Amino acid sequence: MNRFIVFIKNWKNSERLAFAGRVLVFYLIFMALWIYFLISKDSSAPVFIYEQF
């Protein structure tokens, strides 16, 4: 826990780490949106219920 707190303090005090953190956040948002676009179900496709008779 202490190490984590120290890490966060270092992050806040370091410009490079802060920049990397911002890049990571934006990157994850882009990737989440892109992956969602690639694998989400087509919202315009209706449900088809197969009737054998």
Partner 1 sequence: MKNIKAFLTAFVLFLLTAAGIHAAAAKGLPRYNIRIGTWIEPSKFVCTNGLAQLLGGENAVAVFGSSELRHGQNTEFGGNSIFRDSDMDPVYIGQAGYQSLTHAITAGALGETLSGKKAVIIVSPQWFKDGGVKKSAFGSSFSEDAFLTFLKNDKLSGETKQYVIERARELAADNSALLEKIETDIELCEGGIHKEGMSRLREFLVKERTDTGLFLKAWAGGKLNQEKGQQREIDWDALYVEAVESGKKIADNNAYGMLDAVYENQYRDLIEGDGVKKPAYRVDSKEFEDLECFLKVCTENKINVLLVMLPFNGYWYDYLELDKTEREALYDRTKELAKAFGVSYADLSPNEYEPYYFEDNSHPALKGLVDMNEQIYRFYKELEE
**Is residue 27 close enough to count as binding partner 1 by CB under 8 A?**
yes
Query: Which of 7/34 has CB closer to partner 1?
Result: 34
Residue (of 15, 33, 45) closest to 23 by Cα position: 15
DSSP helix/strand/coil, 31: helix
**Is residue 39 close enough to count as binding partner 1 by CB under 8 A?**
yes
**Is residue 24 close enough to count as binding partner 1 by CB under 8 A?**
yes
Contact residues toward partner 1 (CB under 8 A) are: 18-19, 22-27, 29-31, 34, 37-39, 42-50, 52-53
